[in-house]
Structure 1
Amino acid sequence: MSTPNVEAVKLDELNCWRIRHGQAELLVAQQGAHILSYQLAGQPPLIWLNDEAVFKTGNNIRAGVPVCWPWFGNLLRNPQGVQAMRTSSEPPTAHGFVRATDWALRGIEAEGESLKVEFTLPYPEGGFSGWPHRVDLTLGIRLDEQLHIDLTSHNQGTDTVTLSQALHTYFAVSDVRKVHVEGLDGLTYIETLEDWTTKPQTGDLHFAGETDRIYLDTPPKLGIVDPAWERRIQLTSRGSRSAVIWNPWVDRAAAFSDMADDGWQRMLCIETANVMDDVVTLAPGASHTLGVSLGSKSL
């Protein structure tokens, strides 16, 4: 078993760790317990580190694997049970609030041939602003031949809590116009770009324009086929029956100050999620884990 190499690094204002274990290299920020990049030696990156990403305190990072919690996207598009958890009259930020919050690094330790990295976000003294529910969070990362990510919510309070969430993964691809996603055939999706209409998926998903779809009753296994890089990225989800697939394409990317105009070509988001009728309801004392394992194989 190789000894992990852990290096503390600073990206502008953010504390980060570069972790090497075996053939894997992981870059993760304390803010948001945010995985910024991941790749295996001699291979293209699996997780996309946006060249134009901004690493400022309190600033959401457009790259890697943002943690969306305790709601996903626009709060007002969430089921009423999720909306009712928030008590503030201030406009809600998109995707909740934990991705711009510093988490605590609990530890980095070997487990057999794998390496475990764990972050925690306990319920703070005084509570989460505008969201007064005693839920502790743990983000576990495990490195072996794959990258495993698990987000666990534990309700420490006396009231039932309802939340939506996602691991908003940006995958690195050779060119999004030349890749396709397997495992969606026959599913129903919500087309958010067409007034949130519901449509059926026929065949694999190919990309020819801006894409923002919520897939319902998704299977645990999906794949991104990338012929130019001669690989298939395999996603295996846990605790999830929904997925969001997103690419901003030309016009949206050009409007982002933290993405190159052509950055959309090199990324594809598949977000392992609990959204729409797949929200999480936690009774007092209950826990839920949302997770995904990521790896790649040659075509």
Structure 2
Amino acid sequence: MSTPQVESVKLDELNCWRISHSGAELLVAQQGAQILSYQRDGEQPLIWLNEQAVFKRGTPVRTGVPVCWPWFGIFARNPQSVQGMYKSEPAPTHGLVRALDWQLHGIDSATDDNLRIDFTLPEAEGKLPGWPHKVALKLSIVLGDHLGVSLTSTNLGDEPVTLSQALHSYFAVSDVRDVHVEGVAGLKYIETLEDWQVRDQANELRFAGETDRIYQQVPAQLTIVDPAWKRRVRVTSSGSNAAVIWNPWIDRAAQLSDMADDGWQRMLCIETANVMDDVVVLLPGAEHTLGFTLVSEAL
């Protein structure tokens, strides 16, 4: 096994690690245990590093793979079972853990070829303001010939805990107008931009405007086909039956202070998620793992 190269770096106010191993480079921040970028040697990036991202302590970062937990999206749009877990206000979008420092527990070999990076968040064990539940939370990253990300929640308390969550992945693309997503044809989705109507996806998904859809009963694998970069990016999920596909397009991107006006062209979010009818109910002592693996291959 080759020796991984690990470098501590600082991006403005955030402590980060740049890790090179097995022909790939990973950039990950302590805040949020958030992957900021991922790239194979000699290839275009796979995880998008937003050039306008703001790296300030206590501020969620719009790039990479934010961890949304113990709820996803707008709090009021979550099922009552999720809302009932939170005893305070306001309720920040995408939960309570994106802007907290996680503890790095180790960078170790998982197999001969893979490196494993583990983070935990002790505050989730009863110390999150307004969320008085005891859940052991671990984020694990596997770096090798693929990228693997998993989020494991274990209920340490004596009452059931209900949560929604997502690994809010920003994938790098040549130009979102020229790529398409395979694996969604025939699925139902919630069109959040049109009064949350339930619709049917007839064909593969192509992009010609702002997109914010929650796909339901999603197959394990979705694929981004990117002809300009001559590759297929396969995203294989586990612990989830839903996926959120998002791109802000022109007008919405222009409203975002932490995204370039043309930044929407270079990214596409496919978020492995437990949302809507796919929320997680953790009985006392139970655990659940949400995850995805990412591989690219030539067209």
Structure 2 counterpart of 1:99: 98
Cα 1:246–1:126 change in 2 (3 A) is closer
User: Per the alignment, do residues 125 and 284 of structure 1 end up closer, same or farther by CA in structure 2, a change over 3 Å counting?
Assistant: closer
Which secondary structure state, in structure 1, belongs to the residue aligned with residue 152 of structure 2? strand
Structure 1 equivalent of residue 162 of structure 2: 162
Q: Which position in structure 2 is the counterpart of 1:212?
A: 212
Amino acid at match of 1:279: V
Corresponding residue number in structure 1 for 2:129 = 129
- Measure, in 1, the Cα distance between the counterparts of 2:297 and 2:265: 22
Q: Deviations over 1:191-232 (max 9, x none)?
A: 000000000001100000000000000010100000000000
Q: Which residue of 1 aligns with 2:230?
A: 230
Q: What is the TM-score with the length of structure 2 in the denominator?
A: 0.98
The aligned residue for residue 273 of structure 1 is 273
For residue 84 of structure 2, what is the aligned residue in structure 1? 84
Deviation at 1:297, TM superposition (A): 0.4
Q: Post-superposition shift, 1:125? A: 7.5
Equivalent residue for 2:50? 50
Other-structure match for 1:289: 289
Runs of at least 4 residues off by over 4 Å: none
Answer yes or no: is the 8 Å Cα contact 2:125–2:134 preserved in 1. Answer: no
Q: What amino acid is aligned across from residue 102 of structure 1 in structure 2? A: D
1:233-260 per-residue CA deviation (whole Å, 9 max, x = no partner) reads 0011010000000000000100111100
What amino acid maps onto 1:95 in structure 2?
Answer: H
TM-score (norm: length of structure 1): 0.98
Q: CA deviation at 1:123?
A: 3.8
The residue that corresponds to 1:38 in the other structure is 38
| Cα shift at 1:121 | 0.7
Report what 1:189 is aligned to.
189
For residue 55 of structure 2, what is the amino acid of its counterpart?
Answer: F
The amino acid of 1:98's aligned partner reads V
- Other structure's SS at 2:31 match: coil
Distance of 2:167 and 2:121 partners within structure 1: 16
**How many residues are paired up?**
298
Q: In 2, Cα distance between the equivalents of 1:77 and 1:282?
A: 20
Query: Within 2, Cα distance between the matches of 1:186 and 1:53?
Result: 35
> Residues 124 and 137 of structure 1: is their aligned pair in 2 closer, same or farther, counting only changes over 3 Å?
closer
Task: Give 3-state SS (helix, strand or coil) of 2:98's partner.
Answer: helix
Distance 1:213 1:26 in 2: 28
In structure 2, do the counterparts of structure 1 residues 124 and 229 end up closer, same or farther at CA, with 3 Å as the change threshold?
A: closer
Distance 2:97 2:125 in 1: 15
CA distance in 1, matches of 2:266, 2:113: 32
Of 184-193 and 106-115, the range deviating more from structure 2: 106-115
Structure 1 distance, partners of 2:53, 2:179, is 23
| CA distance in 1: counterparts of 2:72 and 2:126, whole angstroms | 24
Give the fraction of aligned pairs with identical amino acids, expressed as a percent.
67
In structure 2, distance between residues paired with 1:144 and 1:262: 32
Match of 2:28 in 1: 28
User: Does the residue aligned with 1:76 lie in a helix, a strand or coil?
Assistant: helix
**How many Å separate the matches in 2 of 1:189 and 1:72?**
17
In structure 2, the CA distance between the partners of 1:262 and 1:165, relative to structure 1 (3 Å rule), is: same
Deviates more, 1:106-115 or 1:55-64: 106-115
**Which runs of no fewer than 5 residues in structure 2 stay unpaired?**
none
Distance 1:124 1:179 in 2: 38
> What is the alpha-carbon root mean square deviation over aligned residues?
0.8
| Offset, 1:136 | 1.3
